[in-house]
Amino acid sequence: MYEIINKKKRGLPLSADEINHVVQGFTTGHVPDYQISALLMAIYFNEMNPAETAALTMAMANSGDRVDLSMLNDKTIDKHSTGGVGDKTTLVVAPIAAAAGLTVAKMSGRGLGHTGGTIDKLESIPGFRVHLSGQEFLEQLAQHGLCIAGQSTNLAPADKKIYALRDATATVDSIPLIAASVMSKKIAAGAKHILLDVKTGSGAFMKEKQDAETLAKTMVEIGQNCGRKTAAIITDMSAPLGRAIGNSLEVVESVQLLQSDKCADPRLDALCRTLAAHMLSLAGVGSMVECEAKVNHAISSGAALKKLADIVEVQGGDRSYIENPEKFKPAAHIIPYPSPQTGYIYAMDTEGIGLAAMALGAGRINPGGNIDHSAGILLHAKTGDYIREGQPLATFHTGSVGKADAAIAKFMASIRFEDVAPQQCPLVYGAIF
Could you list the active site residues? Answer: 80, 159, 166, 181, 185
Q: How many other C-beta atoms can be found within 10 angstroms of the C-beta atom of residue 433? A: 12
Half-sphere exposure of 211 (CA within 13 A, CB side): 15
Q: What share of the chain is helix, strand, coil (3-state, %, to 5)?
A: 45, 15, 35
Q: List Cβ<8 Å contacts ≥24 apart for 401-404.
A: 401/332, 401/333, 401/335, 403/359, 403/360, 403/361, 404/333, 404/335, 404/360
**What DSSP letter does each residue of 37-79 carry, written as one string?**
HHHHHHHHHH---HHHHHHHHHHHHTTSB----TTS-TTEEEE
The length of the chain, given as a count of residues: 433
Would strands 343-348 and 415-418 be described as parallel, antiparallel, or unpaired?
A: antiparallel
Q: What is the 3-state secondary structure (H, E, C) of 140-202?
A: HHHHHCEEEEECCCCECHHHHHHHHHHHHCCCCCCHHHHHHHHHHHHHHHCCCEEEEEEEECC
How far apart are the C-alpha atoms of 10 and 2, rounded to whole Å? 12
Q: Which amino acid is at 201?
A: G
How far apart are the C-alpha atoms of 412 and 151, rounded to whole Å? 36
Q: How many other C-beta atoms can be found within 10 angstroms of the C-beta atom of residue 400? A: 13
C-alpha dist (Å) from residue 292 to 140, 295, 421: 26, 5, 32
